[in-house]
């Protein structure tokens, strides 16, 4: 029988993360929402040191596990802690020193030696280019092997934490004519000659989190800074498998992004219910939705949507921890949570009227922050396309 109760180990991590969100993030969320392009918030530096000291990536079996056959490990821990910290402030959570989307890429496709070498760094991710957004296979940034070094040339935009991080995981192509199979990821450490942060973007939401544009001009990095194999597959099946290895990064990062959407939506919903209850609206759950008021029914529907997103997130993370292919589930949870997260935060602003639109509460900030969660790590449309391909058994060339 399925057991949806969290093991004590995970429950403790979730509770600790909620405490961080409530005592560290919430009190300073508005302050840093008004300050853009600042250095790493000083309040987060001790937190980053604590997290780094605890280590990451450990796996452990839950109390219902049969020996070592069922795992609740790093992926499950990440979605639970990410959801709780996003309840406080997504921008601040993304600004914690030592935690970056690039770290997920290293864990997904890096060798044990690379995980050890780069695991302690704060790694940003650089995929998107001026002419390459949702189509990751259209990457133009090039990497050419010259002796014992790779030489990178190109431009990246919308790289989260790139100006604050210790390193950037960069997607580049070894040979544009070879298509997807030639796309590899490289670790470029901060201060490497030829890598320049040219600007930080002004944004609608996640204002405290830095989002940078990077230019690589004859940027030289060590030969072993490539993640995974440097070989280009020479058959259609091998090329598909090779690019699938690169795309596995998204299977690891999409559930946490979905967890961000879940966390901020839950925060907005809790504030909204508190506001409404103070105005005399009761939520007893003792009547069917058809016998409830329109206001009650609206809240109930949003809670149901949020719970559905939560369960999809847990399933995708559990599958990753147990080495099961989770591409479909990762896209499902990202599509569901990204969509309902934005819908819920906007509806909460609407239901609370002037209180929701003003700055007395954090509702309008949550609404602004939530929009990007339906866009980055693959838009709503891209997620639905991936799901359709997997369900129908179609390739990217067959279903566009």
Per-residue pLDDT of 256-291, as tens digits, reads 999 999 999 999 999 999 999 999 999 988 888 888
Query: What three-state secondary structure class fits 153?
Result: strand
Higher-scoring residue by pLDDT: 184, 100: 184
pLDDT of residue 62: 39
Residue 23: which residues within 8 A CB-CB, separation 6 or more?
Answer: none
**In this structure, how many other beta carbons lie within 10 angstroms of the beta carbon of residue 52?**
17
The domains located in the chain, with CATH, are 8-107 (1.10.540), 122-233 (2.40.110.10), 237-392 (1.20.140.10)
Q: Are 30 and 359 in contact (CB under 8 A)?
A: yes
pLDDT band at 400 (very low <50, low <70, confident <90, very high): confident
Q: Are 32 and 208 in contact (CB under 8 A)?
A: yes
Q: Are 135 and 171 in contact (CB under 8 A)?
A: no
Alpha-carbon torsion (295, 296, 297, 301), positive or negative = positive
Query: What three-state secondary structure class fits 56?
Result: coil
112-115 long-range contacts, CB within 8 A, separation 24+: 114/187, 114/224, 114/227, 115/57
pTM for the predicted model, two decimal places: 0.89
Residues marked as catalytic: 377
Per-residue pLDDT of 300-359, as tens digits, reads 999 999 999 999 999 999 999 998 999 999 999 999 999 999 999 999 999 999 999 999
User: Kind of pairing, strands 167-173 and 123-126?
Assistant: parallel
Per-residue pLDDT of 122-147, as tens digits, reads 899 999 999 876 677 789 999 999 99
């Amino acid at each position: 029988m399925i057991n949806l109760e969290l093991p004590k180990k995970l429950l403790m991590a979730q509770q600790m993360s909620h405490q961080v969100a409530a005592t560290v993030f919430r009190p300073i969320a508005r302050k840093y929402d008004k300050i853009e392009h600042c250095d790493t918030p000083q309040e987060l530096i001790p937190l980053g040191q604590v997290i780094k000291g605890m280590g990451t990536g450990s796996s452990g079996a839950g109390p219902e596990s049969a020996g070592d056959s069922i795992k609740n490990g790093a992926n499950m821990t990440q979605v639970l802690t990410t959801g709780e910290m996003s309840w406080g402030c997504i921008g601040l959570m993304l600004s914690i020193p030592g935690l970056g989307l690039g770290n997920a890429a290293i864990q997904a496709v890096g060798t044990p030696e690379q995980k050890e070498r780069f695991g302690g760094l704060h790694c940003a991710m650089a995929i998107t280019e001026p002419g390459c957004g949702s189509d990751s296979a259209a990457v133009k940034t090039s990497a050419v092997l010259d002796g014992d070094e790779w030489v990178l040339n190109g431009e990246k935009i919308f790289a989260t934490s790139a100006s604050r991080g210790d390193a950037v995981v960069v997607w580049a192509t070894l040979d544009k004519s070879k298509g997807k199979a030639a796309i590899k990821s490289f670790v470029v450490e901060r201060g490497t000659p030829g890598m320049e942060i040219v600007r930080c973007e002004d944004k609608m939401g996640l204002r405290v989190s830095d989002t940078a544009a990077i230019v690589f001009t004859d940027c030289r990095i060590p030969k072993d800074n490539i993640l995974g194999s440097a070989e280009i597959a020479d058959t259609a099946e091998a090329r598909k498998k090779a690019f699938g290895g690169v795309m596995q990064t998204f299977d690891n990062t999409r559930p946490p992004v979905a967890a961000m959407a879940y966390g901020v939506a839950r925060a907005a919903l809790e504030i909204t219910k508190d506001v409404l209850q103070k105005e005399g609206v009761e939520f007893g759950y003792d009547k069917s939705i058809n016998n409830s008021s329109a206001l009650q029914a609206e809240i109930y529907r949003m809670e149901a949507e949020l719970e559905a997103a939560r369960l999809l997130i847990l399933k995708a993370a559990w599958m990753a921890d147990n080495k099961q292919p989770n591409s479909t589930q990762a896209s499902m949870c990202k599509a569901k949570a990204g969509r309902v997260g934005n819908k819920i935060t906007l509806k909460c602003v609407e239901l609370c009227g002037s209180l929701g639109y003003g700055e007395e509460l954090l509702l309008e900030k949550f609404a602004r922050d939530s929009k990007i969660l339906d866009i980055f790590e693959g838009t709503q449309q891209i997620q639905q396309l991936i799901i359709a391909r997997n369900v129908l058994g179609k390739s990217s060339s067959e279903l566009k």
